[in-house]
Chains A and B, each alone.
Chain A
Amino acid sequence: MNFADGEFELKEIQKLEGHTDRVWSVAWKPATGINGVPAVFASCSGDKTVRIWEQDSTGSFHCQAVLDETHTRTVRSCAWSPTGKFLATASFDATTAVWENVGVDFECVSTLEGHDNEVKSVSWNKEGSLLATCGRDKSVWIWEVLPGNEFDCVSVLQGHTQDVKMVQWNPSMDALFSCSYDNTIKVWVEDGDSDDWHCIQTLGESNSDDLTIKIWSDIDKSQDWHKNAPWKHVCTLSGYHDRTIFSIHWSREGIIASGAADNAICLFVENNDNEVDGPTYKLLLKKEKAHEMDVNCVQWNSGDRRLLASASDDGTVKIWELVRLSGQKL
């Protein structure tokens, strides 16, 4: 799909209210919004709850469930397991709750404790066999999912020298990425099968709030993860947001969405015009005043419509669709 021809618009489909404090993060449930399955997503908030939203046949979203009375402080991050059977929620109360989704019900089946203080992020690996969490105590924890909703702590990774803000597994292999206020990104892999995880690369080329987007690639496509440091910085996008960028997400088609403290959402696509070595990106559009306050999170749905969910300090979640300016769907 060539995005260079024609003009595009990020159309606001719906504004969802319900949370009584800032919304930190949203996560689409896997395999929804496609093949006739209604789109579902979770949102988590400073009001200590998680809300589950489902799209009905008219296309509008309504709140299907509120997961409350579990966390005693802000829920900062949420993540669905790859099959959508579980939802993990990370909270400032230093715990990570794991909820099992049966039909429309959600039951908290496990609480992972161990962090000394606020847990900031949680991520499932591609198989759904490992869960990673990180927090203000500068550590990254890896948990293994066992039968019977048991979780074994596999390893506690120390190395960052400041608050670790986010963890994310590589979608194709068991490599864990963590980023921190110490201005570095670390790549962690396991040594064989030994539970011994160590940092194979530290990417430290920028400040956390330098207002840029950086893109890295393992362009050498080296198979030997354990020996090489494969990730190289290939591109920087700057000048598009004038406040700190909080969230970034790649769609299935390679459209990058970013959300920032300037209340705006930007979309970028790969620029095929250039003759420069390596990929470059250009701005597709900037949605100013997307929210009334900071945009904390943007997430693309991976279904058949180009839906984007955004969460903000203003306590709302908005659903957007990327369409051609003529109003036609792409």
Chain B
Amino acid sequence: MQQNHYDILIFDGLGEVSMSSQTVNTVEDIFDSSLNLEDTHYKEGYSEGYTDGLSSGKDEGNQVGLKTGFEVGEELGFYRGCIEVWNAAILVEPTCFSSRVQKNIKQMDELLRKYPFPDPENESATDTIDSLRLKFRTISATLNIRLEYDGYPKASTIDKSGF
């Protein structure tokens, strides 16, 4: 089938001109393309937006990923540090911590090793970090230490209502 290329100029009611370039099938009514103009513009606009969005979205994603990754890494690194210090203390003085605390430290160590570093979209990541936070609070409460990780999100803030 022979195909012709048409450049079509359309004058709308406001005297504005839009141009649409189409390759049409000559057997079809050449005004098909003008009837579909709104649709065509919509599709073009969509595809331009999509391409733009892809690139700016990627930039934003990079930034969010960097920020979140840093925060998570910093917190996990803090826990790793605590575990190393506690293990070192146990090596020097095996009775410095009760057996329950030592068990908790071991469990915290295992949790940390299980954290899916290479796979950030793994669902177990949130569960693991929640368990880690809980273990950390349990151990610090028993040891009576007020060690806090600054970035740690607290459950709630001071409430003066008094009930």
Contacts and interface: CB of A to CB of B under 8 A. Distances in A.
B158 A113 contact: no
A299 interface: no
Interface stretch (A154-162, A215-223, A249-257): A154-162
Given A113-B144, A195-B100, A153 B158 contact: no
B110 to A, nearest CB: 14
B62 interface: no
A158 B159 contact: no
Interface string A140-156: 01001010000111111
Nearest to A114: B141
A74 interface: yes
Contacts of B139: 153
A46 B163 CA distance: 10
B95 to A, nearest CB: 14
A213 interface: no
Interface in B79-133: 98, 100-101, 103
B156 A117 contact: yes
Chain A interface size band reads 20 to 34
Interface in A76-107: 92
Contact of A117 (B138, B141, B142, B159): B159
A116 B101 contact: no
Contact of B141 (A46, A112, A158): A112
Nearest to B155: A137
Contacts of B138: 153-156
A73 to B, nearest CB: 8
B154 A116 contact: yes
A138 interface: yes
B134 A158 contact: yes
Contacts of A114: 137, 140-141
Contacts of A54: none
Tell me which of B101, B139, B146, B158 has the highest count of chain A C-beta atoms within 10 A of its own C-beta: B158
B132 to A, nearest CB: 12
B155 A118 contact: no
Nearest to B100: A152
A155 B104 CA distance: 10
A308 to B, nearest CB: 24
Contacts of A112: 141
Interface in A145-192: 146, 151-156, 158
Contacts of A136: 156, 159
Contacts of A141: 141
A155 B134 CA distance: 8
Tell me which of B140, B141, B157 has the highest count of chain A C-beta atoms within 10 A of its own C-beta: B141
12 contacts: A74-B162, A114-B140, A117-B156, A137-B156, A138-B156, A141-B141, A152-B142, A153-B137, A153-B141, A154-B138, A156-B138, A158-B134
Given A74-B162, A195-B103, 20 more contacts: A113-B141, A114-B137, A114-B140, A116-B156, A117-B156, A117-B158, A117-B159, A136-B156, A136-B159, A137-B155, A139-B155, A141-B141, A146-B98, A152-B98, A152-B142, A153-B141, A154-B138, A156-B134, A156-B138, A156-B141
Interface of B: 98, 100-101, 103, 134, 137-142, 144, 146, 154-159, 162
Interface of A: 46, 74, 92, 112-114, 116-118, 136-139, 141, 144, 146, 151-156, 158, 195
